[in-house]
């Protein structure tokens, strides 16, 4: 067993952990980062290989070695989910994600208050734990801006200091500066989507991406290669933590990254103070890092599992769990799916970045009147590719053929051969509400390669509010597809209750230690020198938006609080 000492240990060096590592190291703190996977280089992402990265998911955890299980309710036995969306390397999911970089709306941080004001208390499902966030848009806006400029995000403002700007997202909350880079180029799918939604009276705009539309900070602009979602960027145009913040941390001389490290316990003393972590190395040795400050920032499964694994006599239900809320409030985006095919044009959807090429925000969050609709909240609607990776394997696996066309045999072969380059996909990424009975706990039956219990998800999105919302949004997808004058427009089936993309919750933030795990800085109420950073702290989903930019803004917010307040006076941040 090896033991090292440091000021700060960070578990998980991805979207949040990489930012914290760089910012704390630049402030003079000695930082050790633990990462389960390897640290790759830009040249490692060539050649492009759809089988390796999309189908075999080379940049994601191996579900056979590190399973995550799912069951719809407590009556059944959980089984491993076939794939996981989080990352398995330094930089985390930012290495292979589609790089969507959304800001939440101002009202998304006050979702319960605004819903009650507009529709009354009864509009909120009685079994939902819908709450306001403890942080406001005004507090986090400077850190959104910092993330956009520090990392490199391409887009167009739709609300600049209160001035609405056509061509941007006119529903966004006010920003102080435009994006540092202009939007990515529009492709055929985006043009079709723009014209159709504009004709319908909606407000299309280029989705903001952490992908460089032109050279920025000594990195080249996007080559529009088509290998983006599920792939690492072969020219470093994707603004992953791997190519942005980790080099900054290295340059300080205060940062050390240990790869191949699986953290299995947060260590505490008799008073309950965190004193470091224990981890398994690739050689199967059990090692310890002693630290004054412990930050855990891997994906939500591992955040929650690590707290539950670290129970003590003082914390018999899991570390930092005096509230009983560790593991509660699991959320995920569920996507309605639409498709369109054309005889009079090639769409070539495989060209350029794959995910959410162009979007509308008209039916997201509370941007439209929900009176008498039978649901609250909404969805961000966009054009992209079937499974968010636009290769032929993706299309064959994730695009159901239109009604009347078999999904096997010669007719299906002929359909795919003709329409692979003539199709596009539409997505309605719905914001599902938090419910306390949607949980993450430790599976008693399934274990990982280290003999640690697997995280178990108990979750079923099929509730009245969510079903009504998805039905409404699916009709919008059909409407948009038909407005494109497609040969055929149709919608796809929904899954059977399992979580979709962008998992959130499990260690929610709040203002009261009785019903939350951490405060707005991610600081544990129970263990003040323990911080939990990432989407596990989200109390709600924050619209139908991908969570990464909000994760990153919160990481900058927490880093600022640690450097300028906690480091000078350790204790509870208020």
Structural domains in the chain, sorted by start:
3-566 (3.50.50.60)
**Residue 415 DSSP class:** H
Compute and round to an integer the Cα radius of gyration of the chain: 23
Confidence bin at 394 (pLDDT 50/70/90): confident
Six-digit token string for 331: 């959320």
Cis previous bond, 471, omega within 30: no
Six-digit token string for 118: 């507009």
Q: Is the dihedral of CA 48, 148, 110, 520 positive or negative?
A: positive
Q: What's the whole-number average pLDDT of the chain? A: 95
Identify the pLDDT of residue 542.
87
Identify the pLDDT of residue 279.
98
Of 96, 333, 502, 503, catalytic: 502
Identify the pLDDT of residue 53.
85
Q: Is the dihedral of CA 65, 500, 328, 276 positive or negative?
A: positive
Identify the pLDDT of residue 308.
98
Instruction: Tell me the residue length of the chain.
Output: 574
Quick check: 390 pLDDT over 80? Answer: no
Identify the pLDDT of residue 465.
97
* Mean local confidence (pLDDT), 478-505: 93
Q: Is the dihedral of CA 321, 328, 75, 127 positive or negative?
A: positive
Q: Is 77 a catalytic residue?
A: no
pLDDT by residue (tens digit) across 273-295? 999 999 999 999 999 999 999 99
Identify the pLDDT of residue 386.
66
CB 356 within 8 Å of CB 98: yes
Give the number of other Cβ atoms within 10 Å of residue 218's Cβ: 6
CB 396 within 8 Å of CB 423: no
Going by C-beta distance under 8 Å and a sequence separation of 6 or more, which residues neighbour residue 451? none
Task: Give the number of C-alpha atoms closer than 13 A to the C-alpha of residue 10, restricted to the C-beta side.
Answer: 34
Going by C-beta distance under 8 Å and a sequence separation of 6 or more, which residues neighbour residue 562? 20, 24, 293, 521, 531
Quick check: 545 pLDDT over 90? Answer: yes
Identify the pLDDT of residue 76.
85
Quick check: 562 pLDDT over 80? Answer: yes
Residue recorded with tokens 């919160």: 554
Q: Report long-range pairs for 279-284 (Cβ below 8 Å, ≥24 apart).
A: 279/11, 279/34, 280/450
- Among the residue ranges 274-278, 385-389, 441-445, the one predicted with the least confidence is 385-389
Identify the pLDDT of residue 151.
98
Quick check: 456 pLDDT over 90? Answer: yes
pLDDT by residue (tens digit) across 97-143? 999 999 999 999 999 999 999 999 999 999 999 999 999 999 999 99
Nearest to 438 by CA among 80, 71, 67: 71
Strand (E) positions, 239-396?
A: 255-259, 262-268, 274-280, 286-296, 331-341, 358-360, 379-384
Residue 193 has φ and ψ, to the nearest 5°, of -65, -45
What is the per-residue DSSP string for 527-568? -TTEEE-SGGG-SS--TTS-SHHHHHHHHHHHHHHIIIIITT
pLDDT by residue (tens digit) across 500-535? 889 999 999 999 999 999 999 999 999 999 999 999
CA distances from 356 to 93, 168, 331, 433, 498 (A): 17, 15, 20, 22, 22
- Cα 492 to Cα 15: distance, rounded to the nearest angstrom: 32
Identify the pLDDT of residue 55.
77
Confidence bin at 388 (pLDDT 50/70/90): low
- Cα 323 to Cα 294: distance, rounded to the nearest angstrom: 20
pLDDT by residue (tens digit) across 332-359? 999 899 999 999 999 999 888 888 899 9
Identify the pLDDT of residue 208.
98
CB 246 within 8 Å of CB 13: yes
Quick check: 222 pLDDT over 80? Answer: yes
């Amino acid at each position: 067993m090896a033991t090292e000492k440091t000021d700060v240990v960070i578990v998980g060096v991805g979207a949040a952990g990489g930012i914290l590592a760089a910012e704390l190291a630049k402030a003079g703190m000695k930082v050790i980062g633990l990462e389960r996977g390897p640290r790759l280089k830009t040249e490692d992402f060539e050649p492009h290989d759809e089988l390796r990265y999309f189908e075999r998911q080379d940049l994601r955890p191996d579900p056979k070695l590190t399973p995550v299980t799912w069951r719809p309710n407590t009556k059944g036995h959980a089984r491993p989910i076939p794939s996981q969306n989080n990352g398995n390397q330094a930089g985390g999911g930012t290495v292979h994600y589609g790089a969507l970089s959304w800001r939440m709306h101002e009202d998304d941080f006050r979702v319960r208050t605004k819903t009650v004001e507009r529709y009354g208390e009864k509009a909120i499902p009685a079994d939902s734990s819908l709450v306001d966030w403890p942080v406001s848009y005004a507090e986090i806006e400077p850190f959104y801006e910092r993330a956009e400029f520090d990392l490199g995000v391409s887009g167009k403002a739709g609300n600049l200091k209160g001035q609405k700007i056509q061509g941007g997202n006119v529903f966004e909350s006010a920003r102080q500066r435009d994006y540092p880079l202009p939007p990515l180029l529009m492709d055929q799918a985006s043009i079709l989507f723009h014209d159709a939604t504009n004709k319908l009276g909606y407000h299309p705009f280029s989705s903001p991406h952490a992908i460089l539309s032109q050279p920025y900070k000594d990195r080249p602009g996007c080559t529009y290669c088509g290998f983006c979602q599920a792939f690492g960027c072969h020219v470093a145009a994707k603004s992953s933590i791997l190519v942005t913040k980790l080099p900054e941390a290295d340059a300080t001389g205060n940062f050390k990254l240990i790869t191949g490290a699986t953290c299995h316990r947060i260590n505490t003393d008799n008073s309950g103070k965190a004193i470091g972590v224990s981890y398994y190395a690739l050689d199967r040795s059990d090692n310890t890092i002693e630290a004054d400050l412990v930050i855990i920032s891997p994906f939500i499964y591992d955040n929650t599992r690590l707290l539950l694994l670290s129970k003590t006599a003082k914390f018999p239900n899991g570390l930092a769990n005096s509230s009983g809320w560790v593991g509660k409030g699991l959320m995920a985006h569920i996507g309605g799916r639409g498709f369109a095919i054309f005889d009079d044009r090639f769409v070539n959807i495989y060209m350029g970045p794959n995910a959410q090429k162009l979007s509308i925000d008209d039916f997201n969050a509370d941007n439209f009147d929900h009176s008498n609709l039978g649901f609250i909240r909404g969805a961000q609607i966009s054009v992209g590719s079937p499974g968010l990776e636009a290769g032929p394997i993706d299309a064959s696996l994730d695009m159901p053929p239109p009604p009347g066309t078999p999904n096997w045999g010669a007719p299906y072969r002929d359909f795919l051969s003709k329409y692979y380059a003539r199709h596009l996909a539409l997505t309605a990424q719905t914001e599902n509400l938090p419910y306390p009975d949607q949980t993450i706990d430790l599976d008693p039956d399934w274990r990982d390669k280290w003999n640690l219990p697997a995280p178990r998800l108990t979750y079923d999105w099929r509730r009245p509010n969510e079903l009504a919302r998805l039905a409404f949004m699916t009709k919008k997808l059909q409407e948009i597809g038909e407005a494109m004058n497609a040969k055929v427009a149709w919608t796809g089936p929904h899954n059977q209750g399992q979580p979709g993309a962008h998992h959130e919750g499990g260690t929610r933030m709040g203002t009261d230690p009785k019903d939350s795990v951490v405060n707005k800085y991610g600081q544990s109420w129970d263990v003040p020198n323990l911080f939990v950073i990432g989407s596990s702290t989200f109390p709600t989903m924050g619209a139908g938006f991908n969570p990464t930019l909000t994760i990153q803004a919160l990481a900058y917010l927490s880093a600022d609080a640690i450097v300028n307040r906690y480091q000078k006076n350790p204790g509870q941040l208020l």
